[in-house]
Structure 1
């Protein structure tokens, strides 16, 4: 092969590679997008199935009564409500509950609490009575 033919073959291979690069990239991008769409579709189908189960539960009057008892503390007519307190220090239990609640709060809630508590703390600080110094006599 002559050097001229080698150069022509190299130029043609480069041209062919550049011509095919964009379609190949588009092909792989579309495959990835299709896979993501299929995964999202499967997730939505599972979510729809779960919502249909909840819908069937909400049609059941016994389930609604149980939820009213558990969530809202409703008591059916003729029944006696009882509150069971577990042994232990209620103050410590409240402190643990407050810590767990504070850990689950979003960042802006803690910022708001720090601002509001700072305002309350400033209200408790006594302001000293300051008497201004008398003005110097004129001309002197």
Structure 2
């Protein structure tokens, strides 16, 4: 009786353990043999597969998502910059409000009001003598600027205001000039 280690195939006998450990051969696993008349076919590898329809759809969807998220991120960054600018403006205005409140508190002090009246208006207290230094040009040095008033109203008379010009055009349109008489020969 032959032993199990024989490679002979008997009908109804079990295959040896060596043949059981191998997976069965498939059609695609075996390299194809070329015959002399057939051209060589390029072998397909995992890296060189063609783009399938599903992969194209997935790539298209991913591209659309990237574009939509990029737009949303750009809007978010723009809004973030606007918020930062508005917060800075709020801080600046709060600082200005604080400065104005300080100035308002100073104006409530009588000593500050007297000092401003002396400096800005040139006032003196009763019993004091006020002096003004006159410069080489004949104007007081360090004096507050004089209010600008036109002398005898000549500046205003030369430059009419816009509403005076407008009313003059309305009156002129209501009173057209008389036609000149035609001279016939």
What TM-score do the two structures reach when normalised by structure 1? Answer: 0.58
Q: Does 1:27 align with 2:76?
A: yes
- Unpaired stretches in structure 2, ≥5 consecutive residues: 1-48, 142-154, 160-184
* Greater RCO structure (CA 8 Å; 6+ sep): 2
Deviation of 1:10 after TM superposition, in Å, equals: 2.6
- Following the alignment from structure 2 to structure 1, what is the Cα–Cα distance between the partners of residues 71 and 56? 24
SS in 1 for 2:133: coil
For residue 72 of structure 1, what is the aligned residue in structure 2? 121
Aligned to 1:3: 51
Q: How far 1:63 sits from its partner (Å)? A: 0.6
Q: Which has the higher helix share?
A: 1
Instruction: Tell me the alpha carbon deviations over residues 15-70 of structure 1, each in whole angstroms, 9 at most, x when there is no partner.
Output: 11232133212211210111011101110111011012101211110110011111
4-13 or 44-53: bigger deviation: 4-13
Deviation at 1:8, TM superposition (A): 2.5
Segment drifting more, 31-40 vs 15-24: 15-24
SS in structure 1 opposite 2:101? Answer: helix
Distance 2:78 2:115 in 1: 50
Structure 1: 5+ residue stretches without partners: 94-111, 117-138
Q: Deviations over 1:62-104 (max 9, x none)?
A: 1100111111121110000101123x3449x9xxxxxxxxxxx
- 2:107 pairs with 1:62: no
Instruction: Select the residue among 67, 91, 95 that pairs with 1:46.
Output: 95
Cα distance, 1:13 vs structure 2: 2.1
Q: Pick one of 19, 25, 37 that aligns with 2:86.
A: 37
Matched with 1:109 is none
Q: How does 1:109-124 map to 2 (within 5 A)?
A: 116=159
Aligned residue number for residue 103 of structure 1: none
SS of match in other structure, 1:3: coil
Partners of 2:137 and 2:96 in 1: CA distance: 42
Deviation at residue 6 of structure 1 after TM alignment: 4.2
C-alpha distance in structure 2 between counterparts of 1:75 and 1:89, whole Å: 25
